Structure 1
C-alpha cells in the first residue's frame, strides 16, 4: 500500500488525456489480435453469407424473370384463346340467327300450307253442305209446291215421277230467272 501512497503523492507530470506508452502498445496489440481474428474467422463467414445471400437474390430474380416471361406467355395465349372464343361465339350467334330465320321461314311455310289445307277443306265442306242444303231445299220446296199445286188444282199429285218432273221444271225456271236478274 505504500506504493500507492507514493504514486499518489508524486506530482502528475503527464497529461491525463494522453495515455501512457505501454497502454498504447497493449491496446495496439489487442487491436491487431482482434483484427486478425475478425479477418481470419469472422470476415470469411460474413463474406460467405453475403455471397450466398447475393446468389439467392440473383436466383430469385432469375426465377422471377422466368415466371414473369411465363406469365406473359400465358397471358398472350389467354388473350389469343379469348379472341378465338369471341370470334367463335360471333360465328355461333350468326349461325343461330340464320337457323332462327330458317326455322321461322319453315314455320311460315308450314302455317301457310296448313292454312291452305284448312281453307280447301272448309271450302269443300261448305260446298258439300251447300249441295246438301240444295237437295234438302229442293225436296222441301218440291213437297210444298206439290201441296200448293194440289190445293190450286184441287187434286192430289200422287205420281212421284210426274211430281218430280214438275218440281224440277219449276226449280229450273226459278234458277234461270235468278241468273237473268244478276
Structure 2
C-alpha cells in the first residue's frame, strides 16, 4: 500500500492544478478581465483624461499667469523708468530755478549795494560840503578877527566881511587847484 499512495502522490503535482480547476479559473479570469475592460477601464481612462485636461488647463493658466506677470513687470519697469526720467527733469528744473533765483538775489544784492554806496557817497559829499561851509565860516571869522586886529579897526560889517572872506577863500582854492602855482609857492 505504501507503494500505491506514493504513486498516487507522485501523479498529483501540487504546482500543476487539476484541469477542471484550471478551466474554471481561466473562465473566471476572462469574465473579470472582460468586466474590467468594459466597465472599469473606460471609467479609469475618463478620470485620467479629466486629470490630464485639468493639469494641461492648469499649466495653460500658469503660463497665462506667468505671461501676465511678465507684462506687469515690463509695465512696472517702464513706469519706473518714466518716473526716474520725470524725477531727473524735475531735479534739473529745480536746479535751474535755484540758479535763476541765486542770480536774481545777487543782482538785487548788487543793486542794493550800489544804492547804499551811492547814498554813502551822497552823504559824504553833503558832509564834505557842510564841513567846507563850516570851515569856510570859521576861517572867515578867524580871518576877519585877525585882519581886524592887524588893521586895527573892526570889520564887523557883515557884507564887507562876507566879500572879503569869499575873495580870500577863492584865492586859496585857485592856488590849490593850480599845481604850478602851488609848487612855485613852496
TM-score range, shorter chain: 0.7 to 0.9
Could you tell me how far apart the structure 2 residues matched to 1:83 and 1:59 are? Answer: 36
Q: How much has 1:71 moved relative to structure 2?
A: 2.5
Could you tell me how far apart the structure 1 residues matched to 2:125 and 2:164 are? Answer: 26
Deviations 1:122-180 (A, max 9, x none): 21111111111111111222222223333333444322222222222221122112112
Q: How much has 1:118 moved relative to structure 2?
A: 1.8
**What's the C-alpha RMSD, in Å, of the aligned pairs?**
2.5
Alignment of 1:35-114 (within 5 A): 35-114=33-112
Question: Can you give the 5+ residue segments of structure 1 that lack an aligned partner in the other structure?
Answer: 1-8
1:163 is matched with: 161
Q: For residues 156 and 30 of structure 1, do their structure 2 counterparts lie closer, same or farther at Cα, with a shift above 3 Å needed?
A: farther
Using CA pairs under 8 Å that are at least 6 residues apart, name the structure with larger relative contact order, 1 or 2.
1
Question: Can you give the 5+ residue segments of structure 2 that lack an aligned partner in the other structure?
Answer: none
More off after superposition, 63-72 vs 134-143: 63-72
Could you tell me how far apart the structure 2 residues matched to 1:33 and 1:175 are? Answer: 152
Q: How many residues align?
A: 174
2:114 is matched with: 116
1:5 is matched with: none
Deviations 1:52-89 (A, max 9, x none): 11111111122122222322333333333333333333
Deviations 1:20-74 (A, max 9, x none): 2233233323323432343344323322221111111111122122222322333
Could you tell me how far apart the structure 2 residues matched to 1:26 and 1:175 are? Answer: 160
TM-score by length of 2: 0.77
1:27 is matched with: 25
TM-score by length of 1: 0.78
